[in-house]
Amino acid sequence: MNKLGTHIQIWTAGWSVEEIEFAAKNAKKIGYDFLEIPVRAPETVDVDGIKSVLDKYGLQCATSFVHSLETDIASEDKQVVQKGIDLMKKALDCAKSLETIAFVGGMTSALNKYNEIRSEQGRNNAIAALAEVADYADTLGLNLNLEALNRYENNLVNSCAQAKAMCQAINRPNIRIQLDSFHMNIEEADPAQALLSANDLLGYYHVAENNRGYLGSGSIDFTAQFRSLAQINYQGPIALEVFSSVVSNPSHSGRLAVWRDVWKDSVDIASHAFDYIHSQINTAQRYKAFMKEEQYL
């Protein structure tokens, strides 16, 4: 059974112990299994405090990571790349201490709206950096889940095909792919087919509507995507990642262009999503069973 979680930003703007307590309490009440907590600035993460709150509510965490331009591992500047490698190792230490269930995010470069195409040298730097970081992660028993982000947030890995090519180039056993319905809606010709193509490499799945509002209220075909997950027998974590200006962190909102209150009530949107995701998983299983019986699958 997939573990279900929510991004911390659905509840609060930050990840202080008090904020995590508020998020954990509400997420647990709904039935979620984990919170997704950013570790991109590991020095700001109160590991012991957060761990004790998660334990108190019987929750786990996933940990997400992205680079800023100062630590962009796909930079052509070797010093910047080295800073990125060092920061990722610290983030992995932090994630390990939090007993993360998955280390995820658009970690292949900075989260940034680039104005130029990525150079071959930049891509090669990212590949070498991620190989080194993957080896470090392996000593901690962790995988790296590389998220394909849309073109406005990354200029290196925008699609499942590019993520798969990165995995192949990095060539380490603990590299996986993270796909996100919001980004796939922009970049993939057929998101359901992209999920099928990721297959065993899929390690994490983000759900969000095309406007990051209520699941099922927009234009994304979740039925098709959950059928794909059933078909590849995806058992990994599924996390809700919807953002609204109601929960505002200025730097986060700036990077992800969160300007509108597409939802107003954290508890309501998280409760609705929990029921919606469960329903999609159950219905996709019934679809799969029926299609097998009829020998279509």
Which of the residues are catalytic? 147, 241
* Pairing label, strands 60-64, 103-105: parallel
Which of 33/36 has CB closer to Mn ion?
Answer: 36
Which of 72/241 has CB closer to Mn ion?
Answer: 241
Which of 206/212 has CB closer to Mn ion?
Answer: 206
Strand partners, 36: 7, 62
CB of 255 to Mn ion, least distance (A): 12
CB of 103 to Mn ion, least distance (A): 14
Q: Interior CA angle at 164 toward 37 and 94, to 5°?
A: 25
Start-to-end C-alpha separation, the chain:
21
CB of 99 to Mn ion, least distance (A): 22
Distances (CA, A) of 4 to 112, 154, 176, 236, 240: 28, 26, 18, 9, 8
CB of 121 to Mn ion, least distance (A): 27
Which of 206/272 has CB closer to Mn ion?
Answer: 206
Report the distance separating Cα 35 and Cα 19, nearest Å. 12
3-state helix vs strand vs coil in the chain, percent to 5? 50, 15, 35
Report the distance separating Cα 162 and Cα 111, nearest Å. 16
CB of 160 to Mn ion, least distance (A): 13
* Residues 124/127/128/132 CA torsion (nearest 10 deg): 170
Which of 83/206 has CB closer to Mn ion?
Answer: 206
Report the distance separating Cα 12 and Cα 142, nearest Å. 27
Type and span of the H or E element at 202: strand 202-207
- Residues of this chain that interact with Mn ion (CB under 5 A) are 180, 206, 241
CB of 152 to Mn ion, least distance (A): 13
Give which of 86, 241, 117 is closest to 178, Cα–Cα: 241
Which of 142/179 has CB closer to Mn ion?
Answer: 179
Residue 140 exposed, middle or buried by CB count within 10 Å (0-12, 13-18, 19+): middle
